[in-house]
Amino acid sequence: MNHEPYHGDCEDYSLTLLFNLKDRKWEKFLLSLLTRESKICHCKIKGNGHAVLRYKGRYIDNIQKKWCTKEYMENREYKFSSWLYIPYQVVIKLVIGFFQTRKRKEI
């Protein structure tokens, strides 16, 4: 997602917001995930999978569209997973996606 208005799902929203928070610098973005300053959190809302951005202890997603606490989201039936979307896994998938996209452009 390069330009506003952004379109995409909950993962796109979370990743784009983090990228913008990190001054649109890939190094800062990836380092934030690796050092766990930020995390893409997997949760379920009424049984449906969903992604939420945690950044410096605050949470935001494409449903609430405002910074809030984890407790606020849990009170709205968000069920957080502690092991899905491990930071290293997210970074590796982003890097793989980057090279796959780059390779397709060369063809």
Average of per-residue pLDDT values in the chain: 90
What is the per-residue pLDDT for 4? 62
The 3-state DSSP class for residue 60 equals strand
**Is the distance from CB of 90 to CB of 29 less than 8 angstroms?**
no
pLDDT at 89 over 80: yes
Q: Which helix (H) or strand (E) holds 101?
A: helix 87-106
pLDDT at 2 over 60: no
The model's pLDDT over 51-71, given as tens digits with 9 standing for 90+, comes to: 999 999 999 999 999 999 999
d(CA 69, CA 41): 13
d(CA 100, CA 29): 19
User: Which distant-in-sequence residues (6+ apart) come within 8 Å of 102 by Cβ?
Assistant: none
The rounded radius of gyration (Å) of the Cα atoms in the chain is 14
The 3-state DSSP class for residue 19 equals helix
pTM of the model: 0.85
pLDDT-wise least confident of 2-16, 28-42, 73-87, 88-102: 2-16
> Token digits for 62?
């494409």
- Between 36 and 2, residue with greater pLDDT: 36
pLDDT at 16 over 90: yes
- Between 107 and 37, residue with greater pLDDT: 37
What is the per-residue pLDDT for 3? 60
